[in-house]
Chain A
Amino acid sequence: MFNSLKSKFVLSFLVLEVIILSLIIGLNFNSLRSASKNLIEEKNETSTHLLIQIIKSPMIVYDLATIDEAVKNFSTLKGVVAVMVKDSRGVEISSYLKPNSVQARDFNKLIKQKLNRFEIDKKYVFQSETISLASQKIGDIYFIYTIDQANKTIEYNKNLTLALALASIIIGFLIS
């Protein structure tokens, strides 16, 4: 079947196309995944930092109404699943848990692990920050963000790219 020079040329062309496309897809996919992850991390870091700045002063006097309001407003941001603010003694001051997502008991178990940041089932990210004022710790804040939607978008893009590459190979084969 591949004895003629023409056939060998077509086969070589297709093999080369597959190799180049695989390289492009692989690199593109990796860079997309890493850019998306960085963007999410940066977004979370910015909003976390903003919330900490807002609640710092109210935390000193236990102005719970202001803290609750800031946490409630923060929870409306896309991707926020749970927030908990604790004072320097570790007593809960304010919290928000998205309905039908995380239980308070499970959230507290994650907090007890005393880790700054880790992924949960490739769906969520747990993050903790210390709240300080004038180099003095006044409390801690804990978050759970969902990365499920970002993962789904990456997966969708990956499948779409693979389908386009396959179509390109088939079209290339037919034309050749």
Chain B
Amino acid sequence: MNFLHKISIVLYLSIGLLQSDVIMGVVPQQSPTKLLQTWRPIAEYLSEKIGEKVVFKTEKSIPEFESVLYSGGYDFAYMNPYHYVVAHKKQKYMAYVRAKKNIKGLVAANKKSKMNFTDANAQYVFPSPNAFAATLLIKYDLLQKYGVSLETLSKARYVNSHDSVYKGIARGFGDFGGGIERTYKAIQDESVKSQLKILYHTSEYPSHPFAFKSTMRGDKRQAIVDALLSIPDPLLAPLKMKKLKLVNNEEYDVVKDLAIKLQVMEK
């Protein structure tokens, strides 16, 4: 084997290692099957657009997703605004794209329930402790506007996903559930949807961003951003999104302030 031959083999292997898959993380707000059905077509679309394989990845629970995200486990990820401010602080993730529509939390209740959502004895159900609109915004509003601290009363239960919140309230495993409009609209099970009513909406905040790892090559990131901005409507429809737009880090300062007020983030 001559020297040139050896060099070419080393170069080939190095290029192979450099051309690894692009990992797209998605916060597990719904069941893994539902996430796979809605996000895999998007990963395939992005792969085709950028000419590199984009792999969809999610975790079993929101806390596990947080753990992977905060250790820089995704090249880019779709995450909630609170995850973003933490991921930006810990791993320098940068938000570039988000849905045009702002996010707001909602409090859902069983249609048969006559209880007031500010009742101190109410059993609240949330997806996870750090779900932004579905948990943190509702807790913030309850505390700021109504003086109800769910933490003090230890009345909150965390059931892993938005779908589980809605199912739990519909089946009577809690009085009130925290959710967001997008996942509420996406409830497919009619026996669940027909049992629910919305009692309260929080204020609006910037919605979930697609944030990119700072180490990602600029041209690759730009190609993904361009592809996301021109994503066909039928791919966005199952996610209950209409259009995506560019966003910058400063837009999420308001989320950072809220997280600090709720003492879930240091200054």
Contact surface of A with B, Cβ cutoff 8 Å: 58, 61-66, 68-69, 91-93
Count A-B contacts at CB 8 Å.
Answer: 40
From the candidates A58, A64, A65, A66, name the one contacting B173 in the complex (CB within 8 A).
Answer: A64
Bound-state Cα–Cα, A92 to B173, Å: 10
**Among A62, A63, A65, A93, residue most surrounded by chain B Cβ atoms (within 10 Å):** A65
Which residue on B lies nearest to A66, using beta carbons? Answer: B31
Question: Counting CB contacts under 8 A, is B175 at the interface?
Answer: no
| Nearest chain A CB to B195 CB, angstrom units | 13
B159 touches A63 (CB 8 A): yes
Taking a contact as CB atoms under 8 Å apart, the answer to whether B33 and A64 are in contact is: no
Chain B nearest Cβ from A87, distance in angstroms? 9
Q: How far is the CA of A61 from the CA of B33 in the complex (A)?
A: 19
Q: How far is the CA of A62 from the CA of B164 in the complex (A)?
A: 7
In which size bucket is the chain B interface? 10 to 19
Residue of A nearest to B31 (CB): A65
| In contact, B167 and A61 (Cβ under 8 angstroms) | no
* Cα separation A68 to B168 with both chains bound (whole Å): 11
Instruction: For A57, give the chain B residue with the smallest CB separation.
Output: B60
Say yes or no: A62 contacts B168, CB within 8 Å.
yes
CA distance A51 to B211 in the complex (A): 37
Q: How far is the CA of A62 from the CA of B123 in the complex (A)?
A: 13
- At the interface, yes or no: B96 with Cβ under 8 Å from chain A? no
Distance of A91 Cα from B172 Cα, bound (Å): 10
A92 to B157, CA, bound (A): 18
Question: Pick the contact of A65 from B157, B158, B161 — CB < 8 Å?
Answer: B161
Q: Which of A61, A68, A91, A93 contacts B160 (CB 8 A)?
A: A61
Interface: B75 (CB within 8 A)? no
State whether the Cβ of B90 lies closer than 8 Å to any Cβ in chain A: no
